[in-house]
Amino acid sequence: DVLSLSTHFKQVHRQYSPKHALGDATTSPAVGKHEGGHLFPQSLRDRSIALIFSKRSTRTRVSSETAVAALGGHNLFLGSSDIQLGVNESLYDTSKIVSSMCDGIIARVNGHDEVELLAKTADVPVINALSDRYHPMQILADLQTMTEDAVLSTKTGAAASTAMGPVGALQGLKVAWVGDSNNILADMLVSYPRLGIDLAVAAPKGYERDEIVWGEMEDGLRSTSTPWRKGSVSWTTDPKEALKDADVVVTDTWISMGEESSKEQRLRDFAGFQVTEALAKAGGAKPDWRFMHCLPRKANEVDDEVFYGPRSIVFPEGENRRWTTQALADMIFGRWKL
């Protein structure tokens, strides 16, 4: 599974990269295991991956480019000002041309229909690198980060982990989302309850649930039969209510890319939603609660004390974007038969 592979890549890198050098790279038997003495399988050798990005990015771009390169592949970063898309050319035509020359596409788009059109019309696999509805790559990194956290891993039902893979260790965890009803939350909704994680959402009045996402969550819960207990989902406009007994508190910017024109209104609407020690205490979060955020972060949604404090696991979460992306690229682009 993707998280086991991601963990494996991370461990290999930790052991042998000069940055983290712990062992003797010259004598280790694992070095040179892959053809040409590479640290990782060269599953993307002779393959080119197109990164079609219509919005800016730090983590997704850097993790995708480094992951593809580490697997021996070639990246083409195609930002909005690099290609004809959107100015002189349609998405359909772009999809046909790019996929006739490249072996995979990682796409960051505006509307979710755009990534669906790419997936339908491209002749190669397409990975969604963020749309206005979903951001699945982020949630893989978040899951890995929670399984690795020492505090969280002491609380959970490790017994389930054999059947479920590494995420079994997250059974029964309570995650509170305090923030916007956005693309990050959408992926938490469609995945966490299926994995046995209880999810409590607090979003302000007027930032209601996305009915398409909600329907996909319900379909997923109905159609996945699991030997483990599925998680619950609750929704409130009161952050304190969602924070009760939370093991993990998660938030994101109140102003996602493309929503800049409603910034002032949003800042007013989200008053009282900033994640702080005081709010978590007032809501009754567990004493050792952890904090996650996909980044980029603004101080509106979380103060410095929490964001840079000992509860925060945001930087391991950011780094895990690399390893989960490398696992995805290997599994999707590397094993796809050309």
What residues are labeled active site?
Answer: 294
Footprint (CB under 6 A) of ligand CP, residues 112-131? 130
Give the type of residue at 334.
G
Residue with Cβ nearer ligand NVA (160 or 201): 201
Residue with Cβ nearer ligand CP (272 or 296): 296
- Applying CB under 6 A, what is the total number of residues that bind ligand CP? 9
3-state secondary structure 239-266: HHHHHCCCCEEEECCCCCCCCHHHHHHH
Q: What tokens appear for 272 in the block?
A: 């009282």
| Partner from ligand CP, ligand NVA, none binding residue 188, C-beta < 5-8 Å depending on class | none
Residue 159, φ and ψ in degrees, nearest 5: -60, -30
Asked whether the beta carbons of 128 and 137 are under 8 A apart, the reply is yes
Burial of 120 per CB tally in 10 Å (0-12, 13-18, 19+)? exposed
Q: Which long-range contacts (CB under 8 A, 24 or more apart) does 118-122 make?
A: 118/52, 118/91, 121/92, 121/95, 121/96, 122/95, 122/96, 122/98
Query: What is the DSSP secondary structure assignment for residue 230, as one 8-state letter?
Result: P
Residue with Cβ nearer ligand CP (62 or 119): 62
Q: What tokens appear for 35 in the block?
A: 């053809």
Q: Give the contact letters, 23-42, x = binds to ligand CP (CB under 6 A), - = no.
A: --------------------
Minimal distance, residue 108 CB to ligand CP, in Å: 8
| Partner from ligand CP, ligand NVA, none binding residue 12, C-beta < 5-8 Å depending on class | none
| Partner from ligand NVA, ligand CP, none binding residue 58, C-beta < 5-8 Å depending on class | ligand CP
Residue with Cβ nearer ligand CP (94 or 138): 138
Q: Give the contact letters, 136-165, x = binds to ligand CP (CB under 6 A), - = no.
A: --x---------------------------
Residue with Cβ nearer ligand NVA (182 or 324): 182
Helix, strand, or coil here: 23? coil
| Residue number with the smallest Cβ distance to ligand NVA | 256
Minimal distance, residue 131 CB to ligand NVA, in Å: 9
Return d(Cα 78, Cα 254) in angstroms, integer: 27
Minimal distance, residue 128 CB to ligand CP, in Å: 11
Return the beta strands (E) in the chain as ranges.
48-53, 74-79, 104-108, 126-128, 174-178, 198-202, 233-236, 248-251, 290-293
Minimal distance, residue 265 CB to ligand NVA, in Å: 17
Return d(Cα 234, Cα 257) in angstroms, integer: 26
Asked whether the beta carbons of 152 and 132 are under 8 A apart, the reply is no
Q: Give the contact letters, 47-66, x = binds to ligand CP (CB under 6 A), - = no.
A: ----------xxxx------
Q: Residues interacting with ligand NVA, by CB under 6 A?
A: 130, 182-184, 252-253, 256-257, 294
Query: What is the gyration radius of the CA atoms in the chain, in angstroms?
Result: 20
Residue with Cβ nearer ligand NVA (50 or 137): 137
Binding residues (CB under 6 A) for ligand CP: these are 57-60, 130, 138, 294-296
